[in-house]
């Protein structure tokens, strides 16, 4: 009994004298950061990735060839090659090959006249090459027919002029080739156009057709020249609203030879306006009046007695 009391007293004395001596052994929790289950140690280590950040302040020009080579090898990259080639995509040709020469006085001379009969004979002589070209076009487009194509060409011709009137450049490229696009844009710049298709004086017809290959023999383009004899209304105003050409009231007969082009080798190629043939025998038109900025004029000051005396002395 006395021994038990002595043990209790010594234990209490130890707690009062050194309170932190026995607490960790008995009541304090073992606080450590390690997980109790080491089974997932590898996965916990792999979920944190050490990334080597590049040195953004390092200049590529300051490195030597050996340092550049070692850096590229470290990243698994091949050394860059000097790229001198320029990629390009051909959707249209640069001009009209074997352009059609319109007969002089076409649309005015009757076929019964001597000149008209000569024109008919010349047309028959050139028709053989045209038929060969049409046969070549049909080898790519089986449904090609000249009568149906003339209706399609007339629709493209009208749509093109409507886009020009509305200054719709986004849709204009669908009816005009890349070669004719800058010319059309230049003609409608800083202008207001009023245009209307009234009727056909004569039905449109194909008068000329040619095919050619570009770069390779398989890359073939086709061109067809369509004769349009129509009645149209055209009025062009400048940027200040002054009439430059034409009239919104009067309709005029217009005879045009329009070249349509199609990339035959392209499965999704379409017929578009490529150029207009202007014959050499046609007299040049007078240029339209263009407005300019008025040049500055010197302001005349009123004469005084002193200036009149100076003039008299100088004389």
Cite the beta strand spans of the chain per DSSP E: 192-213, 220-237, 243-246, 252-263, 272-276
More confident residue, 77 or 308: 77
| pLDDT class of 25 with cuts at 50, 70, 90 | very low
- What DSSP assignment string belongs to 155-171? HHHHHHHHHHHHT-HHH
How large is the average pLDDT for residues 64-81? 87
- Structural domain boundaries enclosing 150: 114-276
Q: Quick one: 235 exposed, middle or buried, by C-beta within 10 A (0-12, 13-18, 19+)?
A: middle
| pLDDT class of 22 with cuts at 50, 70, 90 | very low
**pLDDT value for 32:** 65
Does 138 map to a domain? yes
**What domain count does the chain have?**
1
Does 99 map to a domain? no
Taking the alpha carbons at both ends of the chain, their separation in whole angstroms is: 153
Does 24 map to a domain? no
Q: What is the value of pTM for the model shown?
A: 0.64
Cα dihedral sign for 271, 275, 277, 283?
positive
Does 136 map to a domain? yes
| pLDDT class of 304 with cuts at 50, 70, 90 | low
- Residue 157, number of CB atoms within 10 A of its CB: 20
Does 185 map to a domain? yes
Does 284 map to a domain? no
Cite the beta strand spans of 32-177 per DSSP E: none
Q: What is the CATH number of the domain that holds 235?
A: 3.10.450.240
For residue 242, give the nearest of 187, 290, 282 by alpha carbon.
Answer: 290
How large is the average pLDDT for residues 46-71? 85
Does 246 map to a domain? yes
Does 121 have pLDDT greater than 60? yes
Residue with tokens 């886009």: 163
Does 76 have pLDDT greater than 60? yes
Does 95 have pLDDT greater than 70? yes
Does 159 map to a domain? yes
Q: Is residue 260 within 8 Å of residue 153, measured between CB atoms? A: yes
């Amino acid at each position: 009994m006395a021994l038990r009391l002595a043990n209790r007293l010594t234990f209490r004395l130890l707690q009062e004298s050194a309170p932190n001596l026995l607490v960790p052994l008995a009541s304090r929790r073992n606080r450590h950061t390690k997980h109790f289950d080491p089974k997932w140690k590898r996965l916990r280590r792999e979920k944190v990735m050490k990334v080597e950040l590049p040195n953004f302040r390092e200049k590529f020009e300051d490195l030597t060839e050996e340092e550049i080579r070692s850096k590229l090898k470290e990243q698994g990259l091949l050394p860059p090659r000097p790229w001198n080639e320029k990629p390009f995509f051909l959707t249209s040709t640069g001009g009209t090959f074997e352009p059609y020469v319109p007969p002089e006085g076409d649309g005015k001379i009757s076929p019964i006249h001597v000149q008209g009969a000569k024109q008919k004979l010349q047309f028959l002589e050139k028709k053989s090459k045209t038929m060969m070209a049409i046969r070549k076009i049909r080898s790519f487009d089986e449904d090609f027919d000249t009568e149906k194509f003339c209706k399609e060409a007339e629709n493209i011709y009208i749509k093109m002029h409507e886009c020009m009137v509305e200054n719709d450049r986004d849709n204009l490229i669908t009816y005009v080739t890349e070669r004719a696009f800058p010319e059309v844009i230049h003609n409608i710049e800083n202008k207001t156009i009023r245009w209307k298709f009234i009727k056909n004086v004569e039905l449109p017809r194909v008068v000329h057709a040619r095919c050619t290959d570009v770069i390779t023999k398989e890359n073939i383009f086709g061109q067809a020249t369509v004769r349009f004899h129509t009645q149209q209304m055209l009025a062009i105003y400048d940027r200040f609203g002054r009439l430059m050409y034409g009239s919104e009231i009067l309709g005029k007969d217009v005879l045009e030879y329009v070249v349509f082009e199609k990339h035959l080798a392209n499965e999704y190629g379409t017929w578009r306006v490529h150029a207009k043939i202007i014959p050499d025998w046609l007299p040049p038109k007078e240029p339209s009046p263009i407005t300019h900025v008025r040049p500055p004029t010197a302001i005349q000051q009123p004469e005084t007695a002193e200036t009149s005396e100076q003039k008299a002395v100088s004389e």
